[in-house]
């Protein structure tokens, strides 16, 4: 029996270089123009691609901005400082630094506001930003458990809910302080937040 060869894919494959150029151009436009004046035509010109290239990849401006901002949060790294308190403090300070960038501040606030009436956009924010950054919580908790700072959790569903709550507390506090209250996130504030969080987790440190 003759083996069947896989059917050839139709259409031109996406270019990672083009995607990166488009997202970089989007962030540059956010800095110079802000969300309200940003257009896909301007982004296409800056990236050196046809406007149709953007529409093949993104449904509209909101989705494009979400993906452009998501790249910034992918820069977050969990410090391996030897203590959970210091790890939390380090991530909080990194997060606040990213939020202070004009492209992150204007882009994130705009798409979050738009998502209040767009369920698909809210889901894109969750998948592209929130879910991707929950890795930091899982990594930090695993290290802390290995060091004996946090108890092991035998129930996977409970552990998952705890991870979600930790992320919500940290992200919510930092976003509110930087983007809503307009207050600085300095070392002392980050340290206090870490202490509050650890007391709730029942840390032994």
My answer on whether 187 and 95 are in the same domain is yes
Domain that holds residue 112: 70-201
How far apart CA 28 and CA 21 sit, in angstroms, is: 10
Query: How many structural domains does the chain have?
Result: 2
pLDDT tens, position by position, 133-179: 999 999 998 998 899 888 888 888 888 888 898 899 999 999 999 99
Task: Check whether 194 has a pLDDT greater than 90.
Answer: yes
Say if 8 falls within a structural domain: no
The C-alpha angle with vertex 175 and arms to 113 and 152, in degrees rounded to 5, equals 120
Average pLDDT over residues 9-18: 64
Asked if residues 203 and 144 have their Cβ atoms less than 8 Å apart, the reply is yes
My answer on whether 88 and 56 are in the same domain is no
My answer on whether 20 and 91 are in the same domain is no
Asked if residues 91 and 138 have their Cβ atoms less than 8 Å apart, the reply is no
Asked if residues 72 and 105 have their Cβ atoms less than 8 Å apart, the reply is no
Which CATH number is 83's domain given?
1.10.357.10
Confidence label for 6 from pLDDT (cuts 50, 70 and 90): very low
My answer on whether 74 and 153 are in the same domain is yes
């Amino acid at each position: 029996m003759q083996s069947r060869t896989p059917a050839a894919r139709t259409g031109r494959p996406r270019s990672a270089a083009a995607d990166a150029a488009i997202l970089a151009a989007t962030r540059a436009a956010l800095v110079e123009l802000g969300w309200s004046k940003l257009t896909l035509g301007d982004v296409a010109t800056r990236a050196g691609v046809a406007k149709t290239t953007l529409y093949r990849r993104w449904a509209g401006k909101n989705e494009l901005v979400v993906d452009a901002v998501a790249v910034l949060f992918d820069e977050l790294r969990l410090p391996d400082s030897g203590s959970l308190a210091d790890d939390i403090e380090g991530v909080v300070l990194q997060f606040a630094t990213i939020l202070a960038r004009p492209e992150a501040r204007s882009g994130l606030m705009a798409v979050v506001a738009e998502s209040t009436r767009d369920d698909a956009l809210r889901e894109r924010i969750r998948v592209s930003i929130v879910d991707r950054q929950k890795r930091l919580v899982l990594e930090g908790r695993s290290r802390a458990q290995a060091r004996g700072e946090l108890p092991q959790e035998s129930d996977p569903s409970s552990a998952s809910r705890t991870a979600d709550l930790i992320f919500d507390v940290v992200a919510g506090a930092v976003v509110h302080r930087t983007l809503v209250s307009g207050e600085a996130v300095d070392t002392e504030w980050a340290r206090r937040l870490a202490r509050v969080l650890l007391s709730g987790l029942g840390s032994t440190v």
